[in-house]
């Protein structure tokens, strides 16, 4: 029995090979070219799939909704990063419901660098419950790992591209834990029999868990300081009021940390995961950090964040250190924040240059008349 089918699009006339699946319904919409509205038609059955080739010039390959990658490649684009600095001294400003002289936040950091790993590929045509021994890949490596002890291996298992978790559920798997486990060493045992049509591919990735380091960052309470006047958007702000976590007005007292003061304390290219604290939030500002560049409709609230998706990256760009957060970690605020200042600010009487290359976070709610 031939396991693959050749499909051709009626509009873009491109081909694709897919596994024969008689148990599930598959839509016939084109999944070869991005934006193509053609239909896939069966041409022939094949014993093996054809190796994918580079797309034609001017044609963008199809990609699942919600993903982003470099056109024409399989390289996933990194998440957009938004700078957290709010002044020329690279000030990081947070708001907290506590009114103290200083506030310490403990960030968990990991180095953003490639790590060594071993990959194994197993292909099964018959039903199975365990994976072990020599792989089906070209290198014919034997599956070896130790998931317990002082330096355990991190084992990731993918069945037909879908990641499975280690546990006791029906879709989970188990490995030897060095205690009373009945699983043999260097073996992956699935809790439920895997019986799928065609060839089932199991990918196993073995690596080491990257150690995490705690970095305490000390933010000092904002105060009226003439020597720092005009150096940042929030230097003249005592506190802000806003409806951030509740439907009532809350007061957040501002604290500031100059990014250059931690140079040498945190290694460059470090991913910092902030602590989960619903009473603390980062404030934003646009360049050139004047009194009109404060962001009143978007903040980074330190609660409900995902360790894998929401983080702060400390690195150097063009030789200048910067701290930037993923765009998914920000939340919109409405009504806009209200700023209480130390002194009355002088009006801006000269034109202020902007920066068209910076990423600006705006709220989704538009009020007032249009132009």
Q: Does this model's pTM top 0.85?
A: no
Range of the domain at 28: 1-69
The answer to whether residues 108 and 234 belong to one domain is: yes
The answer to whether residues 124 and 197 belong to one domain is: yes
The answer to whether residues 249 and 189 belong to one domain is: no
Q: Is residue 249 part of a domain?
A: yes
* C-alpha–C-alpha distance, residues 85 and 259, integer Å: 8
For residue 328, give the 3-state DSSP assignment: helix
Give me the residue label for tokens 């290694």. Answer: 267
The answer to whether residues 96 and 218 belong to one domain is: yes
CA-nearest of 165, 188, 163 to 175 is 188
The answer to whether residues 186 and 222 belong to one domain is: no
Asked if residue 159 lies in contact with residue 165, where contact means CB atoms within 8 angstroms, the answer is: no
pLDDT tens-digit readout, 102-150: 999 999 888 877 778 889 999 988 889 999 999 988 888 899 988 887 8
Domain stops at, among 180, 208, 236: 208
The answer to whether residues 60 and 3 belong to one domain is: yes
Average pLDDT of the segment spanning 240-267: 90
The answer to whether residues 289 and 305 belong to one domain is: yes
pLDDT at 70 over 80: no
The answer to whether residues 107 and 122 belong to one domain is: no
Comparing 209 with 320, which gets the higher pLDDT? 320
Residue-averaged pLDDT of the chain = 83
Tokens of 263: 């140079």
* C-alpha–C-alpha distance, residues 26 and 22, integer Å: 9
Q: Is residue 200 part of a domain?
A: yes
Q: Is residue 100 part of a domain?
A: yes
Q: Is residue 263 part of a domain?
A: yes
The answer to whether residues 102 and 148 belong to one domain is: no
Domain stops at, among 208, 234, 269: 208
The answer to whether residues 160 and 93 belong to one domain is: no
Domain stops at, among 185, 208, 231: 208
Q: Is residue 97 part of a domain?
A: yes
Q: Is residue 357 part of a domain?
A: no
pLDDT at 50 over 80: no
For CA atoms 263, 265, 268, 274, give the dihedral sign.
negative
The answer to whether residues 92 and 219 belong to one domain is: yes
pLDDT tens-digit readout, 185-233: 889 999 889 888 788 889 999 988 777 889 999 999 999 888 888 888 9
Q: Is residue 132 part of a domain?
A: yes
Q: Is residue 354 part of a domain?
A: no
pLDDT at 362 over 70: no
When divided into structural domains, the chain yields a total of 3
The answer to whether residues 177 and 230 belong to one domain is: no
């Amino acid at each position: 029995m031939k396991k693959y089918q050749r499909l051709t699009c009626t509009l873009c006339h491109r081909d694709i090979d897919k596994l024969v699946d008689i148990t599930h319904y598959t839509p016939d919409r084109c999944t070869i070219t991005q934006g193509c509205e053609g239909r896939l038609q069966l041409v022939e059955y094949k014993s093996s799939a054809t190796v994918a080739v580079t797309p034609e010039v001017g044609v963008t390959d199809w990609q699942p909704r919600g993903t982003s990658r470099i056109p024409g490649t399989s390289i996933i684009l990194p998440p957009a990063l938004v700078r957290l600095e709010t002044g020329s001294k690279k000030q990081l400003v947070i708001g907290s419901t506590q009114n103290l002289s200083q506030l310490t936040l403990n960030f968990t950091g990991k180095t953003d660098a490639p790590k060594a790993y071993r990959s194994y590929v197993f292909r099964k045509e018959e039903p199975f419950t365990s994976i072990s021994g020599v792989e089906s890949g070209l290198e014919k490596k034997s599956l070896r790992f130790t998931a317990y002890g002082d330096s355990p291996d991190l084992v990731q298992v993918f069945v037909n591209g879908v990641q499975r978790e280690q546990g006791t559920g029906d879709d989970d798997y188990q490995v030897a834990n060095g205690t009373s486990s009945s699983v043999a060493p260097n073996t992956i045992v699935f809790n439920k029999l895997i019986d799928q049509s065609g060839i089932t591919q199991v990918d196993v990735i073995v690596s080491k868990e990257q150690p995490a380091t705690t970095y305490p960052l000390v933010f000092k309470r904002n105060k009226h300081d003439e020597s720092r006047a005009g150096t940042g958007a929030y230097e003249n702000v005592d506190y802000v009021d806003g409806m951030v976590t509740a439907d009532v007005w809350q007061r957040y007292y501002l604290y500031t940390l100059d990014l250059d003061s931690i140079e040498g304390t945190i290694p460059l290219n470090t991913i910092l995961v902030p602590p989960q604290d619903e009473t603390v939030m980062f404030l934003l500002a646009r360049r050139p950090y004047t009194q009109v560049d404060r962001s009143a409709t978007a903040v980074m609230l330190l609660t409900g964040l995902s360790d894998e998706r929401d983080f702060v990256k400390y690195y150097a760009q063009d030789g200048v250190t910067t701290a930037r957060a993923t765009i998914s970690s920000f939340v919109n605020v409405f009504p806009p924040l209200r700023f209480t200042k130390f002194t009355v600010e002088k009006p801006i009487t000269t034109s202020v240059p902007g920066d068209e290359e910076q990423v600006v976070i705006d709220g989704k709610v538009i009020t007032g008349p249009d132009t």
